[in-house]
Structure 1
Amino acid sequence: MVDGDRQRIDKWLWHARVVRTRSAAAALAAAGHVRINGVRIDAASRPVKRGDVVTVALDRQVRVLVVTGFAERRGSATDAQALVRDETVRPETPPGSAATGSRDTGTGRPTKRDRRALDRLQGDDD
């Protein structure tokens, strides 16, 4: 339900197209991966207001979003842009530098040995 000045966090995340489904938004909030104004929430029913800062840990990155509006229904991607202002700080890569883990063109897919070496290099070994 949209009161005009607040909305449930799971509905807002879904309407703003931060996540693909509303159940995924509810699971994200219940798992504690969402903060509203710096306070971790544990319920999908927590309301957000216009101007609130929502921090979401999603897909190995942290996104900082400011609530700028609400919607009754989930609309297009252009409609979703009106609901949110993204203030995520992204590190700049110097021009001409290769991306981490990049491979030469034409070398094919990495082998299992190559993948394990990349994981060790990036510190992702389990």
Structure 2
Amino acid sequence: TKLYKLLTKVCSLRLKNDNTVEPYVFIDRSSVSEAFTENDLNLLDKIRVFTSCNAFAARISDLRWLYCKPKSINDAHNAIDFYSCYEINENDWIDSVKNYYERASRLAIQLGKGCIDKIEKIKQSLNDALAIEYP
């Protein structure tokens, strides 16, 4: 039961890219940071390796980066990699760019010099997608 409640919390979050301090919000709650215990975040880390959904793995990594104490830079790098692994095409443009690539970009920019290669990869993916001529 606890696992299902935890997964429900993770899935009920909404991403608000314009808030760099707390980019996830609950519709019915004010603070996400108080919603997850260290045990919850550790359990999510164990679950992450079994998920085949990159968006879910990215969210778990992102939540761990935001709320684990002490922070692990690997969580941030994992979130960036999972968010930016999606193909950008005309059918998935909004999901890919608005939700995933924007969050990956914001995380990479926050990390600065340690993410130059990831920032360049994201820029290249976006440039390549814009260069494609859609019918």
Q: Sort the TM-score into its range (normalised by shorter chain).
A: under 0.3
Higher relative contact order (Cα pairs below 8 Å, separated by 6+ residues): 1
The structure with the greater share of residues assigned to strand is: 1
The structure with the greater share of residues assigned to helix is: 2
- The TM-score, its normalising length taken from structure 1, stands at 0.27
Bigger Rg, structure 1 or 2: 1
